[in-house]
Amino acid sequence: MSDDHASSLISAEVRHVEALLESRGLLGAGEIDTRIDEFLAGGTPANGARIVAHAWTDPGFAARLLADANEAIREVGLSMAGGLQEQRLKVVANTAEEHNVVVCTLCSCYPIALLGPSPSWYKSEAYRSRVVRDPRGVLAEFGLELPAATRISVWDASAESRYMVVPRRPAGTDGLTEPELAGLVTRKGLIGTAAV
């Protein structure tokens, strides 16, 4: 079965279930699309960048973020409550000794609210399988060459848990404001496939 054919079958099944829910009055017409659009509109890498910039400038927040990310991100007006149940968020921080990278080996679980829609490479089977086996090689393909002594930790997301990386703060940024610092943070940095 081709991927296009399988996708068509799944789409038809989803439309059928949606029509049943609408006919029974459990959903309004187009309600699912509206809610998906609202959810995606709120998700952007700028949210994750804002969290990182705040962590870089507030050591207390950084400690709370690493200890209990779900609770800490509420301090900046964000949450992981995008569906029926709040997803667990674990935030990990890069150091001189350790670099973190995120993957979902089963599918493409990803903190959309904090990083926006996932990039196509994150969902690819090549990334999902290779970053676990050869993280240093995959990071090099992204242009990130780490010292041989740097330990690489790979964090595998799941349906219940999502991960985000706090990149190392670049040298020479002491005088920058939080918004200026946030402007340095990229989605790849939040996933761990790039430095800042």
More confident residue, 140 or 33: 140
Q: Tell me, what's the pLDDT at 1?
A: 38
Interacting residues of 94 by C-beta distance below 8 A, sequence separation 6+: 100, 165, 166, 167, 168, 192, 195
Least confident of 11-15, 60-64, 159-163: 11-15
Tokens 């700028």: give the residue: 46
Average pLDDT value for residue range 3-32 = 75
Assigned fold of 43-191: Nitrile Hydratase; Chain A (3.90.330)
Domain residue extents for the chain = 3-38, 43-191
Whole-angstrom distance, CA of residue 152 vs CA of residue 74: 29
Instruction: Find the Cα–Cα–Cα–Cα dihedral 45, 50, 52, 53, rounded to 10°.
Output: 140
- pLDDT classification of 32: cutoffs 50, 70, 90: confident
Q: How high is the pLDDT of residue 2?
A: 43
**Is 109 among the catalytic positions?**
yes
What pLDDT is recorded for position 17?
Answer: 82
Cα–Cα dist 194/196, whole Å: 7
CA within 13 Å, CB half, 20: 6
Q: Which of 7, 8, 11, 107 is catalytic?
A: 107
Q: Which of 98, 107, 104, 34 is nearest to 66 (CA)?
A: 98
Identified catalytic residue from 79, 108, 153, 158: 108
Q: What mean pLDDT do residues 23-49 have?
A: 77
Average pLDDT over residues 42-57: 94
The answer to whether 48 and 185 have CB atoms below 8 angstroms apart is yes
pLDDT, one tens digit per residue, over 95-126 is 999 999 999 998 889 998 899 989 999 999 99
With a pLDDT cut of 70, the percent of the chain lying above it is 89
Beta bridge partners of 166: 93
Active-site residue flag, 104: yes
Among the residue ranges 24-38, 43-57, 154-168, 181-195, the one predicted with the least confidence is 24-38
